[in-house]
Amino acid sequence: MSELIKKTAAELAGALAAGETTSVELTRAHLDRIAAVDGTAESGVHAFLHVDAEGALAQAAASDARRAAGQSRHLLDGVPIAVKDVLATQGLPTTCGSKILEGWVPPYDATVVRRIKEAGLPILGKTNMDEFAMGSSTEHSAYGPTRNPWDQTRIPGGSGGGSAAAVAAFEAPLALGTDTGGSIRQPGAVTGTVGVKPTYGGVSRYGLVALANSLDQVGPVTRTVLDSALLHELIAGHDPLDSTSVDAPVGSYVAAAREGAKGDLAGLRVGVIKELAGDGWQPGVMERFAETVDLLKELGAEVTEVSCPTFVHAMATYYLILPAECSSNLAKFDAMRYGLRVVPEGDPSAEAVMKATRDAGFGDEVKRRIMIGTYALSSGYYDAYYGQAQKVRTLISRDFAAAFEGVDVLVSPTSPTTAFPLGEKLDDPLAMYLQDLATIPANLAGVPGISVPAGLAAEDGLPVGFQVLAPALADDRLYRVGAAVEAALTQRWGGPILGEAPTLEGPR
Amino acid sequence: MSETLVPFDEVVERFDPALGLEIHVELNTNTKMFCGCPAVFGGEPNTQVCPTCLGLPGAMPVVNGKAVESAIRIGLALNCEIAEWCRFARKNYFYPDMPKNFQTSQYDEPIAFEGYLDVTVPDENGGEGETFRIEIERAHMEEDTGKSSHVGGSDGRIHGADYSLVDYNRAGIPLIEIVTKPILGTGDKAPLVAKAYVSAIRDLIVALGVSDARMDQGSIRADVNLSLAPKGSGVLGTRSETKNVNSLRSVERAVRFEMSRHAGILDAGGSVLQETRHFHENDGTTSSGREKSDAEDYRYFPEPDLVPVAPSREWVEELRATLPENPAVKRTRLQGEWGFTDLEMRDTVGAGALDLVEQTVAAGAAPQAARKWWLTELARRANDAGVELTELAVTPAQVAAVQALVDAKTINDKLARQVFDGLLAGEGTPEEIIAARGLAVVSDEGALSAAVDKAIAENPDIADKIRDGKLAAAGALIGAVMKEMRGQADAGRVRELVLEKLS
Ligand SMILES: [Zn+2]
């Protein structure tokens, strides 16, 4: 195994700048790693749905040529990246983990993809995910699950299990994810990696195949807080193609991460969310969380307990708004213009083709949410369901606003449990939904959140995530606090947490 | 299914009609409602498309500011209130010509609402017309769908077709939908009120310059809602919705037909089906449209990919200042200035010549002369060429110049027609054409006098009649003289000479 793949993106950028390596060399190293450990739907990590070795190497060669000519475009120019398969990539398949989009190759790039291409980051491939980002385990991918590098009998989280596992398994130093209710942060927590959901509108959604438009946000998936900050600054900023993108200057995330890594949080006011704890929360998770809160105090922060009473309704609210929006978003998959087309026997009408295609092309979880959403928007039920959910959503935002009057950041465990065994919750959607209990409120309110590794749970030795939430547009606070926690814990552990993960062998 | 149609006169004796009109206006913005694709009519199918208007996964809409401006100007011209804050909504239904299987429209938060438009129905006997105030419920923004064509089978309908094609060039073109409140109390005038309203909307749209306003090309499309209730009952009956009625005459006919059809159903004790219907231009009837269910639940909800539209009051007032004179008010003003009768005015407007006459008068011609040229000679030529009057290669300034030459007796009306021939053939200015074609009237009194003498000598019987005081017979002699002079004489002077010599 090449030592290059163990380096962080910031280190790789430094090595490239110092002429110690080339983009082709390190892109090839990551492609080799993918070939060695990623395997297939049946075995191996299976973080990737599509690997673009040829394209990545060509982009790497172009990056090296630019560097030789003194025309590098960005600090990360030449550092390879993996992209969640929910983002449109021109010339590369984009399936969203669904059979209904099998073979679809977008004729355009998502804005975030365009930005990483323009900055010169070679795209290694597209990562696995729950179908249309619906799930917390990546088991709902139509192309087979991703397996957790810490224990391949367990889930890597979801929906962005592919991006998190790719980074955790050293198949990529950087990845892009999307977070609608925790799809970046919860996989980060259960794979011992870092994941950031930016402020809603902070990063363009153009080219992100929407799950729930009012909740979705693209964000970085990395092994360090600094790497997330570097990637976040690259992809953030106003996009005229996304009306909901914020027209404000991008914050100084890298500077905040470097400042935080110094370990001084004196004067920082931290609120522990009272409602995000209690029965059903794994003891090992709560232990690591309490320990990390104590760490914040040691670093100088003032910690108080904060109550956000409406958060207990966040789950119910989320599971009305999300299905409503997605039931409409997914209507476009009708076999008329692209993707799967199933033609029934005989001389079927367009309507019959639509029905047969959607029946064959969507998985059960997708159908479940389409039905719930269709119902919630129906005449006579709208006010009771969708309308009511929007009101609760407003109350949740108010709880955040009230809390942030007294504290600078809020904290909680990212996820109630560590990675659970594959298949354990597949037949119990409600148990699966509970995985996102702590991450959903941030999406409903549009505020940013980060998950950083907080250690391993005593009972199973699996990673636990520590979540930090900040007010809208104050994403820099996530980096300051996240980097402080990361620096102190890494020192305590004597190295990065992924050093504790088992060494991966190639698939048997 | 055979239907019993009640004669119109009987319908209005026993029933009160309630009208409702929904008019879709296709805006003439450069680009589509939510993307940068050109919004022009025509073009090879599926060439004016992009990820957004094709509904590709991941693509997002952005509101066209020019379309919002047009919507506000239409709203203001309809005396509407303009929303301080409004949103788009998704109207969800599956149809192959809908790229996203939802239409981005506005639902309970339209950009303009609570307005009115006064329309005048002309009196059949030339008397004062009757004015009706049409209450406008709302005017909202939305996007057009793609255009399906069904190939094979009968009359282009989807049922029985071999296959269907969809052109998405039209998908995403900005539309403004103008919806009236129920229009009551129109009685036997209902068909005329409907027609007058659509006509008034068209005039308004033309004056605002926000649309091509071509009903024949579908840039203005009317849906006609109609219901009947027993006379004096004060209730609203069940309505039918006749879709895409594409000419003013068809609007009138569709209302008339639906009134007769509804009455037939109600007389037989039946109940009218709330449904969509199609209008047939060939025989003026409607038939049930089975393609879409009227009772569909569109599951509207606010479009989460768009931010609210919040036009500032300053901007609204700026736009109000750009509004043209209300067409109806302008018409009344011009009629007074020109001294036209109601009939003359109606014909002028009906021929689409109002602006042309106005410009011709502005260039110096007398109103009656301007009207005469545009409504007779030039209308005939436009008709022959199959073009609109405005598309004819003769300008109001040229018409005024020709009339000035007639007034100066350089040419007469008959020669003027030849000057128009020359203008249409691009032979230069009226003066150049007169010179080149040798069209000036003969002012040589000697030649004229000789021609008159010759005509009297050749037509002694007619000459005698005139001598006996039957002056009407003079026309025949004048005609003979004009023929002799090959038309190049001043007919008035010829008449004077004839009467002089035979007195
Ligand atoms: Zn377009």
Domain count, chain B: 3
Residue of A nearest to B162 (CA): A347
CA–CA gap between residue A457 and residue A459 (Å, rounded): 6
At A394, the amino acid letter reads: T
Give the dihedral sign, CA B197/B198/B203/B207.
Answer: positive
Is B2 inside a domain boundary?
Answer: no
Please give the distance of CA B221 from its chain centroid, rounded to a whole number. Answer: 12
Whole-prediction pTM: 0.86
Pick from B101, B304, B306: CB nearest A332: B101
Q: Is residue B406 located within the same domain as residue B471?
A: no
Is B196 inside a domain boundary?
Answer: yes
Note the residue count of chain B. 503
Mutate which: B32, B34, B60, B107, vs A, most A CBs within 10 A:
B60
β-strands A174-178, A81-84 pairing: parallel
Q: Is residue B214 located within the same domain as residue B309?
A: yes
What local confidence, expressed as pLDDT, does residue B127 receive? 63
CA–CA gap between residue B477 and residue B458 (Å, rounded): 10
Is B205 inside a domain boundary?
Answer: yes
Mean pLDDT across A469-476: 98
> A453 — phi, psi (to 5°)?
-65, 135
Mutate which: A321, A377, A394, vs B, most B CBs within 10 A:
A377
Is B230 inside a domain boundary?
Answer: yes
Is B1 inside a domain boundary?
Answer: no
Q: Is residue B273 located within the same domain as residue B357?
A: no
Is B420 inside a domain boundary?
Answer: yes
User: Which chain A residues touch B301 with a CB distance below 8 Å?
Assistant: 324-325, 328, 377, 382, 386
Sequence-ordered alpha helix ranges (H) in A334-384: 350-361, 364-377
Residues 87-106 of B with CB under 8 A from A: 90, 92, 94, 96, 99-102
CA–CA gap between residue B399 and residue B415 (Å, rounded): 13
Beta carbons of A337 and B99 less than 8 Å apart? yes
> A157 — phi, psi (to 5°)?
85, 175
Beta carbons of A336 and B166 less than 8 Å apart? yes
What tens digit of pLDDT does each residue of A16-66 get? 999 999 999 999 999 999 999 999 999 999 999 999 999 999 999 999 999
Is B335 inside a domain boundary?
Answer: yes
Q: Give me ligand 1 centre to Cα B38, in Å.
A: 8
At B34, the amino acid letter reads: F
Contact status, residue B442 vs residue B485, Cβ threshold 8 Å: yes
Beta carbons of A206 and B58 less than 8 Å apart? yes
Q: Is residue B124 located within the same domain as residue B158?
A: yes
What local confidence, expressed as pLDDT, does residue B107 receive? 95
Is B179 inside a domain boundary?
Answer: yes
In whole angstroms, how far apart are CA A28 and each of A8, A55, A64, A78, A123?
16, 11, 13, 12, 12
List, by residue number, the catalytic residues of A. Answer: 84, 159, 183
User: Which chain B residues touch A374 with a CB distance below 8 Å?
Assistant: 299
Q: Residue A332 — pLDDT band, cuts 50, 70, 90?
A: very high
Q: In CATH, what number is assigned to the domain containing residue B485?
A: 1.10.10.410
Mean pLDDT across A79-95: 98
The Cα of B57 is separated from the nearest Cα of chain A by a number of Å equal to 5
Mean pLDDT across A497-501: 94
CA–CA gap between residue B91 and residue B359 (Å, rounded): 45
* Full pLDDT tens readout for chain B, 503 residues: 457 899 999 999 999 999 999 999 999 999 999 999 999 877 899 999 999 999 999 999 999 999 999 999 999 999 999 999 999 999 999 998 999 999 999 999 999 999 999 998 877 765 667 899 999 999 999 999 999 888 887 666 666 778 889 999 999 999 999 999 999 999 999 999 999 999 999 989 989 999 988 888 889 999 999 999 999 998 999 999 999 898 999 999 999 999 999 999 999 999 999 889 999 989 999 999 865 554 579 999 999 999 999 999 999 999 999 998 888 888 889 999 999 998 898 889 888 889 899 999 999 999 999 999 999 999 998 888 877 787 788 889 999 999 999 998 888 888 899 899 999 888 888 888 988 888 877 667 778 888 888 888 888 888 888 888 888 888 888 888 888 887 777 888 888 888 888 87
What local confidence, expressed as pLDDT, does residue B384 receive? 87
Q: Is residue B14 located within the same domain as residue B87?
A: yes
CA–CA gap between residue B218 and residue A117 (Å, rounded): 44
Omega prior to B293 cis, within 30 of 0: no
Q: Is residue B56 located within the same domain as residue B199?
A: yes
Residue of B nearest to A326 (CA): B304
Q: Is residue B243 located within the same domain as residue B123?
A: yes
> A225 — phi, psi (to 5°)?
-65, -40
What local confidence, expressed as pLDDT, does residue B155 receive? 61
Domain boundary among B386, B404, B437: B437
* Residue entry with tokens 């020019």: B66
What residues form DSSP beta bridges with B142? B175
What tens digit of pLDDT does each residue of A418-462 get? 999 999 999 888 888 989 999 999 999 999 999 999 999 999 999
Q: Is residue B31 located within the same domain as residue B162?
A: yes
User: Which chain A residues touch B56 with a CB distance below 8 Å?
Assistant: 88, 106-108, 337-338
Contact status, residue B89 vs residue B303, Cβ threshold 8 Å: yes
Domain boundary among B437, B459, B478: B437
Q: Give me ligand 1 centre to Cα A333, in Å.
A: 18
* Residue entry with tokens 């060695």: A36
CB proximity list for B64: less than 8 A, separation 6 or greater: B29, B31, B32, B33, B34, B174
In the predicted structure, residue A505 carries a pLDDT above the cut 50 = yes
Contact status, residue B112 vs residue B71, Cβ threshold 8 Å: yes
Q: Is residue B307 located within the same domain as residue B452?
A: no
User: Which chain B residues touch A377 with a CB distance below 8 Å?
Assistant: 92, 299-301
Pick from A108, A212, A243: CB nearest B62: A243
In the predicted structure, residue A221 carries a pLDDT above the cut 80 = yes
Contact status, residue A463 vs residue A497, Cβ threshold 8 Å: yes
**Packing angle of the helix pair A253-260, A475-493 (nearest 10 deg):** 30
- Number of Cβ within 10 Å of residue B272's Cβ equals 19
What local confidence, expressed as pLDDT, does residue B120 receive? 87
What local confidence, expressed as pLDDT, does residue B145 receive? 94
SS3 A188: helix
Residue of A nearest to B165 (CA): A336
Structural domain span for residue B433: 327-437
Contact status, residue A82 vs residue A113, Cβ threshold 8 Å: no
Q: Is the ipTM of this complex over 0.90?
A: yes
Domain boundary among B320, B337, B360: B320
Q: Identify which of A445, A359, A367, A443 has the alpha carbon closest to the alpha carbon of residue A404.
A: A445
Sheet holding B301-302, edge to edge: B102-105, B89-92, B301-302
What local confidence, expressed as pLDDT, does residue B443 receive? 67
Q: Is residue B116 located within the same domain as residue B186?
A: yes
User: Which chain A residues touch B102 with a CB distance below 8 Å?
Assistant: 328, 331
Residue of A nearest to B35 (CA): A241
What local confidence, expressed as pLDDT, does residue B477 receive? 86
Q: How many beta-carbon pairs below 8 A join chains A and B? A: 101
Q: Is residue B66 located within the same domain as residue B158?
A: yes
CA–CA gap between residue A124 and residue A27 (Å, rounded): 8
User: Which chain A residues touch B92 with a CB distance below 8 Å?
Assistant: 327-328, 331, 377
Residue of A nearest to B46 (CA): A337
In whole angstroms, how far apart are CA B299 and each of A137, A386, B188, B275?
31, 11, 38, 19
Contact status, residue B171 vs residue B97, Cβ threshold 8 Å: yes
pLDDT higher for A432 or A196? A196
Beta carbons of B306 and A244 less than 8 Å apart? yes
What local confidence, expressed as pLDDT, does residue B294 receive? 45
Q: Is residue B236 located within the same domain as residue B358?
A: no
